[in-house]
Amino acid sequence: MAEQIWDSFARLNAGERFKRQSAEMGSAVTEAIVEEARVFPGFRVLDVACGAGEPSISIAALLKGTGEVVGVDMAAEPLKVARERARKRGLENVEYMQADVHALPFADASFDRVTSRLGVMFFGDLPQALGEMRRVLKPGGRVALLAWGAMEQPYFEMTIGKVRRMRPGLEVPAGARQMFKFGVPGTLAAALGEAGFHEAEDRVRRLRWDWHGSPEEMWDYFRGVTVPFRGLLEKVEGDAEVDAAVLAALRESFDGEYVRIEWPCP
């Protein structure tokens, strides 16, 4: 079922329409996780829940033709996008395959690094998933995970927060609430420690999440790609008052070229 949700037409269509803006918006986030991964030439890196190809593409480029990067995701369609992006970049040291983090198809101690950008919040069985990551990691290896912080941050306050204030009877779907499960500092580190990782820590970082385009485009993109909120957003589809309120909030951060946003993540 997860594959069908993340492979939905609405999400893929929005991703294609706004792929340039989406890639630019996520660049600071990608840079942060690549920095934390601390990769070196010749490393073998596993990127879990890689979606359309980040940070695996950036890591493969950083390795400059050495080593190997393997990106895995449960959804098939984003992997096609990732393969095409890697092909256009001329990257031959990265490959993509469909796989479930809860049962990774790799031998023990296969990778020097394991990364996941905005994926760990959605693992159905977190101890099992983290255990699999630890199993395939070499002794002395490093895992770098990036998750959303608390829901009370500008990106969501200007969008979903505004929707909820306009229509207070609407509830946040359970799948959306889990996006913020690591919003309290220390929560992710505790989960990693319980899974057997040593020297686990999490830190809140404030990163840019700027949208290069109009508030109207950003709102269209948000509604298309934010799968966990789909059940809530469908209930306000065509609601002119809600649209006007969200757009007014986004315009407050619009400088004529970008909607400027900063968000915290652990």
Residue ranges of domains in the chain: 2-265
pLDDT at 1 over 60: no
State the pLDDT at residue 27: 94
Tell me how far CA of residue 206 lies from CA of 150, 210, 245, in angstroms: 12, 12, 26
pLDDT at 264 over 80: no
State the pLDDT at residue 29: 94
Q: pTM of the predicted model, to two decimals? A: 0.90
CA 117 from centroid of its chain's CA atoms: 5
State the pLDDT at residue 14: 56
- CATH number of 2-265: 3.40.50.720, 3.30.420.240, 3.40.50.150, 3.30.930.10? 3.40.50.150
Assess contact for 232 and 160: CB atoms under 8 A.
yes
pLDDT at 4 over 90: no
pLDDT grade, residue 260 (50/70/90)? very high
Q: Classify residue 139 as exposed, middle or buried by CB count within 10 Å of its CB (0-12, 13-18, 19+).
A: exposed
Peptide bond before residue 55 is cis, with ω within 30 degrees of 0: yes
State the pLDDT at residue 12: 54
Q: Kindly give, in sequence order, each residue whose CB lies less than 8 Å from that of residue 16, ignoring residues fewer than 6 positions away.
A: none
Helix axes 187-194, 126-136, angle to 10 degrees: 60
Phi, psi of 259, deg, nearest 5: -90, 110
- Percentage of the chain beyond pLDDT 90 is 83
pLDDT at 251 over 90: yes
More confident residue, 160 or 17: 160
Q: How crowded is residue 53: how many other Cβ atoms within 10 Å of its Cβ?
A: 27
Give the pLDDT mean for 107-123. 97
Give the pLDDT mean for 95-119. 97
What tens digit of pLDDT does each residue of 20-74 get? 899 899 999 999 999 999 999 999 999 999 999 999 999 999 999 999 999 999 9
pLDDT at 3 over 50: no
pLDDT at 10 over 60: no
pLDDT at 108 over 60: yes
| Mean pLDDT computed over every residue of the chain | 92
CA 108 – CA 259 distance, rounded (Å): 44
CA 186 – CA 88 distance, rounded (Å): 39
State the pLDDT at residue 227: 87
State the pLDDT at residue 2: 43
Give the pLDDT mean for 204-221. 94
pLDDT at 11 over 60: no
